[in-house]
Chain A
Amino acid sequence: MALNIVVCVKNTPSTLAVPVDAATGLPKTAGLVFAMNPFDEYAVEEAVRIKEKNPGTTVTALALGPESDHAVLRDAISRGCDAGVLLSGPELQGGDAFAISRALAAAIKKLNGQKPVHLLLFGKNTNDDNSGTVGGQVAAWLDWPGALSVKKIESIDESSAVLWRMMEDGVDKVKVQLPAAVGTVKEINEPRVPSLRGKMAAKKASIPTWTAADLALKPEDAGAAGARVKLARSSAPPPRPAGTRIAGATAAQTAEKLVATLVERKLI
């Protein structure tokens, strides 16, 4: 059973301590170290595991970003993906999840035209924007069934997949017809480290770059022009007020003081 899988990846800052540019009021990411969004590693790993169980399966990693984001696609290939496609160019930059998902969906349609796609995988969210909506919006653009927060792909064949979806109060088991879009959570697997063979393959891989024109996107529908929300400004959250330390002469006295303080502050 040969499947064709697309997995979305993003190059994001490796640190969470991102300063704000005083002049623009926006996060200042220039000069930071970038790497694959950690949550995308689970999606890549799941795609590769499905490939390993189903001979003939192909996995294409898809990213949108500047030319330098070739690096994240090479990382995906080094982890077992077969190919990568980068969506890039000035007209695709500056978009929100609406515009980004529209471009990714257009690329998946194009890939689907070359060879029918069965499954789209993506991580639960990115560690920079944290919205967790790009994958779900891609599913909407494509009119594909989809599920977010999937912790297990129980079974898959060319026509359907059975998924375990983590809800707040338990786990839903659902069956989706393929093609479908699936968002993964950390519990789904343990990502591997890139192999030497994978690194060699990644080095040699030819990664095409598709522009908005290649995706038949109108300029007003792509990037910043096609966005529906805009990050106006960013700021550090207010610092927490200084705390108090509780201590007693004995552990029992400390416990007594702690409970008394919690009661006094109406916390319990």
Chain B
Amino acid sequence: MSQQKILVVALMQRGAASPATYELLTAGRSLANALKQPLVAFQVGGTAESARELVERGADRVLWSGGAALQDFNDELHAQAVLAAAAQEKPSWLLLPASVAGRSLACRVAVKLGAGLATDVNEIDPASGTVKRSHYSGNLQATMEFKSEVRVVTVQGMVFPQAPRQAGRSGEVAELAFAPAAAGMEFLSFQAEEAGEIDLGGAERIVSGGRGVGGPDGFKLIRDLAHALGAAVAASRAAVDSGWIPYRHQVGLTGRTVRPKLYVACGISGQIQHLAGMSTAGSIVAINMDPECPMMQQATISVVGDMFELIPLVIAEIKKRRGAPVAA
């Protein structure tokens, strides 16, 4: 019987690998070392050059399939490609990013492989073969056991550090020929998010506003602070439902789940639905008028005060420390 492998799916989107790919390589490397199995990355789309980078970031071997059919995400075609790689490599673990595409792919691949699937995994125990993930919107942490030989897992973003690039690291790169079969989906177009926006899922720092922001104009202040910190902009459901900021910025039960190192919550009371999306942030800074609200109780650092007064002063202080001119 051929040796089993750890297989990481590296999804190329808009011609580039996402940082999540390099996080998967860290998770995969750790599994590969523990189980003494090779770490193989399957790059869907891209080029031999981008595949080479995956070797430099820890893969023992990289397979890649390219071509026009895999340029934009197509659930069925990408699944066909991943299944071809899985049929060849016979993975014991198959790791995908916990993105829209990753989840969609994982669904199809798990069914076709007859494999168990655990999504948004935040801990992997190679010894027991179990994984941990949150359920009940982060209020409980579940330990999942697999009953299948192949374990399909989507890994939550920001849980594992990105595998560093080691220039010159050796490993095999091979193209896996992909002949697309018929698919019921046709990709028509892509509308990018506004320029300069940092994606919430991969953001190390996030500045978020809630009802206390008071209106769309208040989000200008949130954006200014985010800009000063190099952070992504987020919002609570109350702010999104009020039409102050688009839905894609919403963090919480009905929005995105994030795991930044720093989450600055401004004027957010901390309803359980919002905490569900951000309570695993490394450090939480809460700025609020209400010292007793749930977010202030959760916060690593809390500041009681008026955000409209404090935030400009915080921005000025950051600029001062960086030596940038501060507006009068």
| Chain A interfacial positions (CB closer than 8 Å to B) | 13, 16-18, 20, 27, 38-39, 96-98, 101, 127-133, 135-137, 139-141, 144-149, 151, 162, 165-177, 180, 185-187, 227-237, 240-241, 243-247, 251-252, 254-256, 258-259, 261-263, 265, 267-268
Chain A interface, DSSP helix/strand/loop, else mixed: mixed
Q: A147-B75, A174-B185, A230-B144 are in contact. Are A187 and B247 (CB under 8 A)?
A: yes
The smallest C-beta distance from B100 to any residue of chain A, in angstroms, reads 5
* 5 A-B pairs with least C-beta separation: A136-B107, A145-B184, A228-B116, A255-B313, A140-B111
Residues of B272-326 whose CB lies within 8 A of A: 272-273, 276, 279-280, 282-285, 291, 297-306, 309-310, 313-314, 316-318, 321
Residues of A within 8 A of B2 (CB): none
B114, B120, B185, B301, most chain A CB atoms within 10 A: B185
Contact yes or no, B305 A254, CB < 8 A: yes
B189 interfacial by beta-carbon distance below 8 Å? yes
Q: Given A98-B117, A168-B100, A245 and B14 touching (CB < 8 A)? A: no
16 CB-based A-B contacts, threshold 8 Å: A18-B140, A136-B104, A147-B185, A167-B101, A168-B100, A171-B191, A174-B187, A232-B142, A240-B298, A244-B302, A245-B304, A251-B305, A256-B317, A258-B303, A261-B301, A267-B283
Most A CB contacts (10 A, CB to CB) among B100, B285, B299 go to B100
Interface size class of B (residues with CB under 8 A): 35 or more
Q: How far is B310's CA from A252's CA once the two chains are assembled, in angstroms?
A: 7
Q: Which one of B50-58, B60-68, B130-138, B208-216 is at the A interface? A: B130-138
* B108: interface (CB < 8 Å): yes
Task: Tell whether A229 pairs with B139 under 8 Å between CB atoms, given A133-B117, A145-B75.
Answer: no
Contact of B318 (CB < 8 Å), options: A177, A241, A268: A268
Contact with A along B174-203 (1 / 0, CB 8 A): 000000000111111111110000011110
- Are A169 and B147 in contact (CB-based, < 8 A)? no
Q: Is the interface of B mostly helix, strand, loop or mixed?
A: mixed
Contact between A145 and B76 (Cβ–Cβ < 8 Å)? yes
Contact of B303 among A166, A180, A228, A254 (CB under 8 A): A254
Q: Which of A175, A235, A262 contacts B262 (CB 8 A)?
A: A262
Is the beta-carbon distance between A17 and B108 smaller than 8 angstroms?
Answer: no
Report yes or no: B136 in contact with A16, Cβ–Cβ below 8 A.
yes
Let me know if A234 and B143 touch, CB within 8 A: yes
**B104 partner residues in chain A, CB cutoff 8 A:** 136, 146-148
Alpha-carbon separation in the docked complex, A101 to B106 (Å): 14
Given contacts A165-B100, A232-B143, contact A175 B137 (CB under 8 A): no
> B64 to nearest A CB, angstroms?
21
In the assembled complex, how far is the CB of residue A140 from the closest CB belonging to chain B, in whole angstroms?
4
Chain B residue numbers with a CB within 8 Å of A229 are 116-118, 144-148
Given contacts A174-B185, A232-B145, A258-B301, 10 further A-B contacts (CB under 8 A): A98-B111, A136-B107, A180-B184, A180-B185, A185-B247, A230-B146, A230-B147, A231-B143, A251-B310, A262-B285
A167 to nearest B CB, angstroms? 5
Query: Is B165 among interface residues, defined by CB-CB distance under 8 A?
Result: no
Known contacts A186-B247, A235-B141, A244-B301: A145-B188 contact under CB 8 Å: no
